[in-house]
Structure 1
Amino acid sequence: MIRALMNERLPDRTEPFRLAQRGAVFTGKLPLADMDRLAGSLVNSEGSVEVTLRFGTDERHLAIVNVKLQTELTLTCQNCLEPCSQSIEVETTLGIVRTESEAARIPRAYEPLVVGDEPLSVKELVEDELILALPIVPRHFEDCLPRAATEEVPESGSEAADRKERDNPFEVLRRLKKER
């Protein structure tokens, strides 16, 4: 019987095949500020992500890692362009393989994690999974108005008429016709 190893500190790098054989489990937090690739999608990188990594093997003796992530990210609402908080929860199982050809043969139940012979960077794994979990179009959950709808600019009657005349793409043609 394999004894599961619990560790409250997340390692920087791991040997995933060895950890899978041992049934290792890691839990801990990683600061969002350390994730440079993710930072470009965030309004701010305050806070951290709670991480649980459960290494093991399946019935086919394939090395796997179950990844659970939970965090709050501050993104830009694409409707009103104001910051909005998004709760992100990820739970996925990755099949750990050394090559792309091995990745093509893993069961559909797993996403492939190609590690080669190098140690696995825990921070990069977590950052990759968070990037994949980002909403395509971040929005507030409550109804929010588009920014243009909330900005009212008063116009006088003559300003509105001038703007309408300038915005008409056929105005140039009308002027040319009058000149003839």
Structure 2
Amino acid sequence: MSNGPIPLLVEPHKLADRAISFTGELPLAKFTRVAELLTNTAGAVQVSVAFSRDEQKHVVMHLELAAKVAMLCQRCLEDAVISVGGHYDYLVVNHNADSTLLSHSYDVLEVDDEPLDLLALVEDELLLCLPIVPMHPQGECQSPAGYVEPELGPDETTRSNPFSVLAQLKRDPKL
């Protein structure tokens, strides 16, 4: 295992033959597509990647990501720090591989003879694990300054159903 810098380009077949793994951090500022969705790019993504071969001698890549990102809470419009990440298992294959013979317990990652762009793969997975509607946990949002909760008047609490007229028409035997 290597705890040094994470290489941005890797050759999965060569690394799997030697069962190499890497652990380290990548700054959030390096991920331009993710940075567009954040309010602050301070911090880093904890990355752990391991290459190996399975029982059928296929190249397998295990990827783990963990980060805390700052996004705009859609309830209170303040910064919300959200934990994102996950565990991903890939079966690395050539573009012409027969997918019917592959294991269904892995995601398929098609790679040619060119090195795999690990930075792009990590960014893709980060984008997929960001929340669609970022929010603080329930009860942690603060109301904006100057916001006053409107009070309901007595006539607003006893509103009638607008479809009650239709119910009366349905009961009328003349129609």
TM-score normalised to the size of structure 2?
Answer: 0.75
- 112, 119, 122: which one pairs with 2:118? 122
Q: Is the 8 A contact 1:103 1:113 kept in 2?
A: no
2:129 equivalent to 1:133 = yes
Q: Measure, in 2, the Cα distance between the counterparts of 1:104 and 1:141.
A: 42
One-letter amino acid matched to 2:16: A
- 1:13-41 CA-partner distances (Å, limit 9, x unpaired): 11111111111001111000011011111
- 75, 81, 87: which one pairs with 2:83? 87
Name structure 1 gaps, 5 residues minimum. 155-180
One-letter amino acid matched to 1:16: P
- Equivalent residue of 1:46, what SS? coil
TM superposition shift of 1:136: 2.1
Q: Measure, in 2, the Cα distance between the counterparts of 1:6 and 1:147.
A: 46
**Residue 109 (structure 1) aligns with:** 105
Aligned length, in residue pairs = 150
**Residue 170 (structure 1) aligns with:** none
**Residue 49 (structure 2) aligns with:** 53
**Residue 20 (structure 2) aligns with:** 24
- 1:33-66 CA-partner distances (Å, limit 9, x unpaired): 0110111111111111111100011112111110
Aligned CA distance change for structure 1 residues 106 and 76 (closer, same or farther; 3 Å): farther
- 1:75-99 CA-partner distances (Å, limit 9, x unpaired): 1112222110011131111111221
RMSD over equivalenced CA pairs, Å: 2.6
One-letter amino acid matched to 1:122: L
One-letter amino acid matched to 1:106: L
Return 89-98 or 137-146, whichever deviates more: 137-146
TM superposition shift of 1:117: 2.0
- Equivalent residue of 2:2, what SS? strand
Q: Is the 8 A contact 1:93 1:111 kept in 2?
A: yes
TM-score normalised to the size of structure 1?
Answer: 0.73
Q: Measure, in 2, the Cα distance between the counterparts of 1:104 and 1:74.
A: 41
TM superposition shift of 1:8: 2.2
Q: Measure, in 1, the Cα distance between the counterparts of 2:117 and 2:32.
A: 14
Name structure 2 gaps, 5 residues minimum. 151-175
Moved over 4 A (4+): 100-105, 144-148
